[in-house]
Amino acid sequence: MSEDPTLREGTRAHYRDAAQYDRTYARRREDIDFYARLAEERGGCVLELGVGSGRVAVAMAERGVEVVGVDLMPSMLERAQLRLDKAPPAVRDRVTLLRGDLRKLRLDRRFSLVVAPFNVFMHLYTRKDIERALSTVKAHLRPRGRLAFDVLMPSPHDLARDPNHVYKLGSYTRAKDGRRYRYRENFRYDAARQVQLVTMAWVADGHDGAPESSLLAHRQFFPAELEALLHYNGLRVERHEGGFEGETLDDESESQVVVAKARARGRGKPTRDAR
Ligand SMILES: C[S@@+](CC[C@H](N)C(=O)[O-])C[C@H]1O[C@@H](n2cnc3c(N)ncnc32)[C@H](O)[C@@H]1O
């Protein structure tokens, strides 16, 4: 995404092993229901930015919705294609997968709903990245279309974790080779850029060599900042909630779930300062 090598790696590494990604998040379902329900309610076609392995896209297509899914990572798109290959032909025909960067995408087509499920926008690290992404959203929304996405709620406690501490998180079998690995995580928060860097490491059982590791870089969006970014980029927030079932956004929230629409042009009086 960004030219910064750490952030570039932190956007890609976690998604190279797409089978492992699916296995890790196999139990994550409430977001699928949220996006699929919204797609059904709104009718029309959906554009999914950061479609990944097709977790959400295929569920929407199963409910009769046509979906165009775009992703940066070939590994994730291949996995999404595998998922589609196993789906009934009618479902398969409703999904189009494209490789692309959501900050630059222009399809010359508009959608009733644009979605970016499961922290996709947390890979937008700079104001420019965010502006480009929201400009893509506006270029693809129909007049009464909606944008829906979720990002994590920053946790002051989690961001303050000791960067030298390694969290030992048990062991499990990895999809790629069926071997058992001890799994560790380490967190470093770059406060100036508001980016949480998560290093994940796997040590194969009975193996003394260097651990295999992977980096995930997540831009943190504080709630008022997120609303301001959407507002100043021409979007009106309709819902800003603390979960996928309409929970109030508060100290307990793990995610921020947002539904927004493009602001009508030329509406609203200028403020006193702007006159
Ligand atoms: C956490 S995954 C979410 C995937 C899917 N939406 C889901 O709910 O499972 C984030 C996805 O965003 C993609 N991504 C990150 N930056 C992107 C960009 N600039 N353009 C397109 N896709 C991007 C990643 O490759 C990854 O597949």
Ligand 1 pocket: which of 123, 137, 216, 218 to mutate (most atoms <8 Å of CB)? 123
Quickly list DSSP for 6-58. HHHHHHHGGGTSHHHHHHHTTT--HHHHHHHHHHHHH-S-EEEES-TTSHHHH
Burial group, residue 234, by CB count within 10 angstroms (0-12, 13-18, 19+): middle
Q: Is 15 a pocket residue for ligand 1 (Cβ < 6 Å)?
A: yes
* Residue 275 confidence class, pLDDT cut points 50, 70, 90: very low
Interval 267-274 mean pLDDT: 39
Question: Which residue's CA is minimally distant from atom 10 of ligand 1?
Answer: 120
> Ligand 1 centroid vs 50 CA: distance in angstroms?
3
The Cα 275–Cα 65 span in angstroms is 45
**Kind plus residue range of the DSSP H or E element containing 75:** helix 74-85
Q: Answer for the pair 256, 241: CB distance below 8 angstroms, yes or no.
A: yes
Specify the ligand 1 atom closest to the Cα of 25.
Answer: 9
Which pLDDT does position 9 carry in this prediction? 94
Q: Indicate whether 266 pLDDT > 60.
A: no
Quickly list DSSP for 197-225. EEEEEEEETT--SPPEEEEEEEE---HHH
> Ligand 1 centroid vs 76 CA: distance in angstroms?
8
The Cα 106–Cα 136 span in angstroms is 7
Which pLDDT does position 269 carry in this prediction? 45
Q: Answer for the pair 68, 45: CB distance below 8 angstroms, yes or no.
A: yes
Interval 248-262 mean pLDDT: 97
Question: Which residue's CA is minimally distant from atom 4 of ligand 1?
Answer: 52
Q: Answer for the pair 52, 71: CB distance below 8 angstroms, yes or no.
A: yes
Q: Indicate whether 268 pLDDT > 50.
A: no
Query: What are the tens digits of pLDDT across the range 131-149?
Result: 999 999 999 999 999 999 9
Q: Is 133 a pocket residue for ligand 1 (Cβ < 6 Å)?
A: no
Which pLDDT does position 258 carry in this prediction? 98
Question: Which residue's CA is minimally distant from atom 13 of ligand 1?
Answer: 50
Which pLDDT does position 274 carry in this prediction? 30
Q: Is 52 a pocket residue for ligand 1 (Cβ < 6 Å)?
A: yes
Phi–psi pair at 13, nearest 5 degrees: -55, -45
Q: Is 132 a pocket residue for ligand 1 (Cβ < 6 Å)?
A: no
Ligand 1 pocket: which of 114, 120, 132, 218 to mutate (most atoms <8 Å of CB)? 120
Q: Indicate whether 3 pLDDT > 80.
A: no
Q: Answer for the pair 12, 19: CB distance below 8 angstroms, yes or no.
A: no
Interval 102-129 mean pLDDT: 98
Which pLDDT does position 271 carry in this prediction? 36
Query: What are the tens digits of pLDDT across the range 5-37?
Result: 999 999 999 999 999 899 889 999 999 999 999
Query: What are the tens digits of pLDDT across the range 160-205?
Result: 999 999 999 999 888 778 888 899 999 999 999 999 999 999 998 7
Considering only the C-alpha atoms of the chain, give the largest distance between any 2 of them, rounded to a whole number of Å.
70
Specify the ligand 1 atom closest to the Cα of 119.
Answer: 1
The pTM (predicted TM-score) of the whole model is 0.93
Query: What are the tens digits of pLDDT across the range 96-112?
Result: 999 999 999 999 999 99
Which pLDDT does position 1 carry in this prediction? 45
Question: Which residue's CA is minimally distant from atom 16 of ligand 1?
Answer: 123
> Ligand 1 centroid vs 120 CA: distance in angstroms?
5
Query: What are the tens digits of pLDDT across the range 33-79?
Result: 999 999 999 999 999 999 999 999 999 999 999 999 999 999 999 99
> Ligand 1 centroid vs 208 CA: distance in angstroms?
33
- Which whole-number Å values give the CA distances from 151 to 5, 14, 94, 109, in the listed order? 23, 16, 27, 26
Which pLDDT does position 209 carry in this prediction? 73
